[in-house]
């Protein structure tokens, strides 16, 4: 605590963001009144971790009367090296009344025990005091023993101090100009935005140690039966045991988990993230199987996208580890027990991978942002979107959202924020200047496909485009040069004529009427396939006649290690790839997966906990879907994407 040019080091009780009544210790008060801290007396100002936020608090002085003493009400024995509350009766102090605040102090120094200096309240002429036994043998406190002095606190005056309050100094502010492109704003607009972000710096958290806890809605788990699900801990490679311990400690220190005696125990494992670090994942599939679904409605995404189409400025924000900011209901937390070789723990906050987690979190955010939809402010689970026609209006809406997040004690991830943009990609759409387009990255797999190199690849491409021939004008005429190449008696020569036909058909797949903007009121179908060297996935939806239109495409090559995977592993990886690529469409919704591997229909019940497939299933456990077998000859789009070759990023 900085007081003028002096620094006072005192332990302070951490409270919630809202201001509350505070009692300053007598030592601090004495320093101020005796002039030992003259800057405080002259400036009438105290800074607690200096910032720009100010508030006025009444500071009360008091008259101290030390004539009152307290005696032990009933004989008590305090065990060695222990502490115990002792009831005291007030003696020789007629001026005190029930309900009055008093401060306790030692009656006399003793090497045998310590009396906690504390503020307490009188009840029936008695109060409680905390006594610590410093000896290695029992401490006997006899009845009527004089133990404490009483200092009644009588408020006689109040003076206004100005306090500057901020968050912990250890928190590093995010450098917006260095980490975000704000070049599209002029100097005045940028200054206003940066000032607003600085004012509400407390709502941004870069890691889970900085998360808040929101209890507006507490997650509950309702089961089909009360038979505990308990599994043995998964074996952890010796080299990863220190990392497992570190991850558990991080979650403990962040208040996300706590030690538990729960009869429920799910195994955990470490999953490597793209940056090479690890995260702890709980395998909650057994618990999820017996969890009753929560059918809280998710927002209509079509309406949310339509809401954006008229705006000129957009902001998108993503909460930092959003689920870990929502409190688990105290009576239900034990159901989330996890088993590790370091002990059993349970989640105090909502864990990832839990059935109904998205529904609960959407319910929470619906309360946090209630009544703001008319301001073009929306939220899909943990993704917040704001739209406006002017900068001033947008900044005003931003402040409204910031205040709501502060009130709910929620934190936003700064690296996943995009402020005052003129173009935004949200839920698979790109919106700019009143127009809505499919997200271009969802079309890259088709646009970057290179020409076929043999008859088999030509047949695969024509199989895909032929499926949509009714939506491609003059399809037969356009495809004729390619059709001729499939004939065995025709030499395979690729010329400008074949290239033109290939590009024309390829582009037709990425435009209306072949391509369809998603309708979030209808179910999605995910078609996946894996070849020897690549993965392919296509997200489709049925039109009114039942014909499937593509919504988005995705594909990638297999790595050297992935090429050696078994067929089942490759096909499972293809499902994981498709689901994660199209998360913005599929998360929180029931959908269907088409795969040409019949065994994948049983993939959810695979029991080998050490296999790659089981680790991938932890990713899929957050989604609700059915897998249906569909032969490759009927799964044309995904089949083609998994077998085509693509331009490298550096190629034009």
Q: Would you state the pLDDT for residue 262?
A: 93
Q: Which residues pair with 258 in a beta bridge?
A: 346
Closest CA to 375 of 438, 308, 320: 308
Q: Is residue 548 part of a domain?
A: yes
pLDDT of 533 above 60: yes
Here the CATH number for the domain that contains residue 556 is 3.30.420.10
Number of domains in the chain: 4
Residues 6+ apart with CB under 8 A from 212: 205, 325, 409, 410, 411
Q: Is residue 422 part of a domain?
A: yes
Here the CATH number for the domain that contains residue 424 is 3.10.10.10
In the block, tokens 């006399």 appear at: 108
pLDDT of 359 above 60: yes
Interatomic CA distance for residues 378 and 421, integer angstroms = 16
Helix 496-509 to helix 455-467 angle (10° resolution) is 40
Task: Convert the pLDDT of each residue in 29-46 to its tens digit.
Answer: 444 444 444 444 444 444
Together in a domain, 562 and 636: yes
Q: Is residue 421 part of a domain?
A: yes
164-189 core/surface letters (b: 16 or more CB in 10 A; e: else): bbeeeeebeebebeeebeeeebeeeb
What are the two backbone dihedrals, phi and then psi, of residue 101, each rounded to the nearest 5 degrees?
-80, 135
Together in a domain, 607 and 565: yes
pLDDT of 510 above 80: no
Closest CA to 603 of 576, 577, 578, 584: 576
Least confident of 151-155, 239-243, 321-325, 463-467: 151-155
pLDDT of 635 above 70: no
Q: Which of 88-102, 148-162, 207-221 has the highest mean pLDDT?
A: 207-221
Together in a domain, 523 and 504: no
Q: Locate 411 and state its tokens.
A: 């934190």
Together in a domain, 522 and 631: yes
What are the two backbone dihedrals, phi and then psi, of residue 534, each rounded to the nearest 5 degrees?
-155, 165
Peptide bond into 513 cis (omega under 30): yes
- H/E stretch holding 160 reads strand 154-165
Interatomic CA distance for residues 195 and 186, integer angstroms = 14
Query: Average pLDDT over the chain, rounded to whole?
Result: 78
C-beta of residue 90 within 8 angstroms of C-beta of residue 68: yes
Q: Would you state the pLDDT for residue 22?
A: 46
| Torsion, Cα of 270, 272, 277, 283 (10° steps) | -30
What are the two backbone dihedrals, phi and then psi, of residue 626, each rounded to the nearest 5 degrees?
-115, 145
Together in a domain, 409 and 492: no
Distances (CA, A) of 46 to 14, 24, 28, 59, 159: 17, 12, 12, 11, 13
Q: Domain ends where: 404, 433, 462?
A: 433
Together in a domain, 305 and 402: yes
C-beta of residue 356 within 8 angstroms of C-beta of residue 364: no
Q: Locate 208 and state its tokens.
A: 């889970």
Q: Which of 89-98, 210-219, 308-317 has the highest mean pLDDT?
A: 210-219
The DSSP symbol for 511 reads S
Together in a domain, 355 and 485: no
| Torsion, Cα of 340, 344, 349, 351 (10° steps) | 40
Distances (CA, A) of 159 to 26, 60, 155: 16, 7, 11
Band of pLDDT at residue 11, cut at 50, 70 and 90? very low
Q: Would you state the pLDDT for residue 8?
A: 45
Read out DSSP for 71-82?
Answer: EESS-EEEPTT-
Together in a domain, 421 and 441: no
Q: Is residue 243 part of a domain?
A: yes
- H/E stretch holding 119 reads strand 119-121
C-beta of residue 437 within 8 angstroms of C-beta of residue 429: yes
Q: Is residue 165 part of a domain?
A: no
C-beta of residue 319 within 8 angstroms of C-beta of residue 203: no
Together in a domain, 284 and 345: yes
Here the CATH number for the domain that contains residue 105 is 2.70.40.10
Q: Is residue 246 part of a domain?
A: yes
Closest CA to 348 of 418, 259, 240, 423: 259
Q: Would you state the pLDDT for residue 49?
A: 45
Q: Would you state the pLDDT for residue 251?
A: 93
C-beta of residue 546 within 8 angstroms of C-beta of residue 607: no
Over residues 486-510, mean pLDDT: 88
Reduced to 3 states (helix: H, G, I; strand: E, B; else coil), residue 314 is strand
pLDDT of 115 above 80: yes
pLDDT of 306 above 80: no
Q: Would you state the pLDDT for residue 171?
A: 56
Helix 455-467 to helix 636-643 angle (10° resolution) is 150
C-beta of residue 359 within 8 angstroms of C-beta of residue 295: yes
Together in a domain, 74 and 204: no
pLDDT of 264 above 90: yes
Q: Would you state the pLDDT for residue 495?
A: 92
pLDDT of 364 above 90: yes
Over residues 435-449, mean pLDDT: 70
Q: Which domain holds residue 465?
A: 437-513
30-41 core/surface letters (b: 16 or more CB in 10 A; e: else): ebbeeeebeebe
Sign of the torsion formed by the C-alpha atoms of 243, 244, 245 and 248:
positive
Together in a domain, 473 and 559: no
Over residues 116-132, mean pLDDT: 81
The DSSP symbol for 639 reads H
Q: Would you state the pLDDT for residue 443?
A: 67
Here the CATH number for the domain that contains residue 447 is 3.30.70.270
Together in a domain, 418 and 500: no
Q: Are strands 534-542 and 525-530 parallel, antiparallel or unpaired?
A: antiparallel
Q: Locate 386 and state its tokens.
A: 């704001």
Closest CA to 589 of 301, 283, 218: 301
Q: Is residue 172 part of a domain?
A: no
- H/E stretch holding 150 reads strand 146-152
Q: Domain ends where: 433, 450, 484?
A: 433
In the block, tokens 């951490």 appear at: 14
Reduced to 3 states (helix: H, G, I; strand: E, B; else coil), residue 550 is strand
Band of pLDDT at residue 109, cut at 50, 70 and 90? confident
Sign of the torsion formed by the C-alpha atoms of 585, 588, 589 and 593:
positive
- H/E stretch holding 379 reads strand 377-380
Least confident of 107-116, 299-308, 349-358: 299-308
Over residues 192-219, mean pLDDT: 91
Q: Domain ends where: 513, 535, 559?
A: 513
Q: Is residue 310 part of a domain?
A: yes
CA terminus-to-terminus distance, the chain: 60
């Amino acid at each position: 605590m900085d007081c003028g040019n002096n620094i006072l080091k005192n332990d302070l009780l951490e409270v919630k963001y809202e201001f509350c009544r505070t009692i300053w210790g007598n030592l601090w008060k004495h320093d101020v009144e005796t002039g030992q801290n003259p800057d405080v007396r002259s400036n009438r100002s105290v800074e607690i971790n200096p910032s720009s936020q100010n508030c006025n608090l009444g500071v009360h002085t008091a008259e101290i009367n030390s004539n009152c003493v307290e005696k032990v009400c009933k004989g008590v024995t305090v065990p060695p090296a222990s502490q115990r509350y002792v009831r005291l009766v007030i003696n020789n102090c007629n001026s005190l009344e029930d309900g009055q605040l008093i401060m306790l102090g030692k009656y006399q120094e003793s090497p045998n025990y310590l009396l906690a200096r504390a503020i307490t309240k009188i009840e029936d002429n008695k109060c409680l005091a905390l006594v610590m036994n410093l000896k290695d043998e029992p401490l006997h406190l006899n009845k009527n023993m004089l133990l404490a002095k009483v200092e009644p606190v009588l408020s006689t005056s109040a003076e206004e101090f100005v306090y500057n309050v901020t968050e912990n100094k250890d928190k590093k502010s995010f450098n917006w100009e260095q980490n975000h492109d704000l070049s599209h704003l002029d100097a005045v607009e940028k200054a206003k935005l940066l000032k607003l972000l600085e004012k509400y710096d407390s709502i941004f958290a870069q890691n889970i140690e900085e998360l808040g806890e929101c209890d507006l809605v507490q997650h509950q788990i309702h089961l089909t039966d009360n038979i505990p699900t308990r599994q043995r801990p998964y074996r952890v490679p010796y080299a990863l045991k220190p990392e497992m311990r570190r991850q558990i400690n991080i979650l403990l220190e962040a208040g996300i988990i706590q030690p538990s005696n729960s009869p429920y125990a799910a195994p955990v494992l470490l999953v490597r993230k793209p940056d090479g670090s690890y995260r702890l994942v709980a395998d909650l599939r057994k618990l999820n199987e017996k969890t009753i679904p929560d059918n809280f409605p998710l927002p209509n995404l079509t309406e949310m996208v339509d809401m954006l189409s008229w705006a000129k400025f957009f902001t998108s924000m993503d909460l930092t580890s959003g689920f870990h900011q929502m409190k688990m209901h105290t009576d239900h937390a034990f159901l989330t027990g996890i088993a590790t070789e370091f002990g059993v723990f349970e989640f105090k906050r909502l864990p990832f991978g839990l059935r109904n987690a998205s529904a609960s979190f959407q319910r929470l955010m619906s309360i946090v942002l209630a009544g703001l939809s008319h301001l073009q402010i929306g939220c899909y689970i943990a993704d917040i979107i704001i739209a406006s026609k002017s900068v001033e209006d947008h900044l005003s809406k931003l402040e409204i959202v910031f205040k709501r997040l502060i009130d709910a004690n929620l934190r936003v991830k700064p690296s996943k924020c995009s402020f005052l943009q003129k173009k935004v990609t949200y839920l698979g759409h790109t919106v700019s200047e009143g127009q809505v387009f499919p997200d271009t990255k969802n079309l890259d797999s088709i646009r970057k496909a290179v020409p076929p190199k043999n008859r088999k690849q030509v047949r695969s491409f024509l199989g895909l485009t032929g499926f949509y021939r009714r939506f491609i004008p003059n399809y037969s005429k356009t495809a004729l040069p390619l059709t001729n190449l499939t004939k065995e008696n025709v030499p395979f020569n690729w010329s400008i004529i074949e290239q033109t036909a290939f590009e024309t058909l390829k582009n037709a797949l990425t435009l209306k009427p072949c391509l369809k903007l998603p309708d979030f009121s209808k179910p999605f179908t995910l078609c996946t396939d894996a070849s020897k060297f690549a993965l392919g996935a296509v997200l489709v939806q049925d039109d009114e006649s039942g014909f499937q239109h593509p919504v988005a495409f995705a594909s990638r090559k297999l790595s050297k290690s992935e090429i050696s995977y078994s067929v089942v592993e490759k096909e499972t990886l293809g499902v994981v790839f498709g689901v994660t690529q199209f998360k913005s469409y599929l998360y929180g919704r029931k959908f269907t997966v088409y795969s040409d591997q019949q065994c994948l229909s049983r993939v959810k019940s695979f029991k080998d906990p050490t296999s790659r497939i089981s680790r991938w299933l932890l990713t899929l456990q957050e989604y609700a879907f059915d897998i249906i077998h569909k032969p490759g000859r009927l799964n044309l789009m995904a089949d083609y994407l998994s077998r085509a070759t693509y331009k490298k990023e550096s190629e034009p």
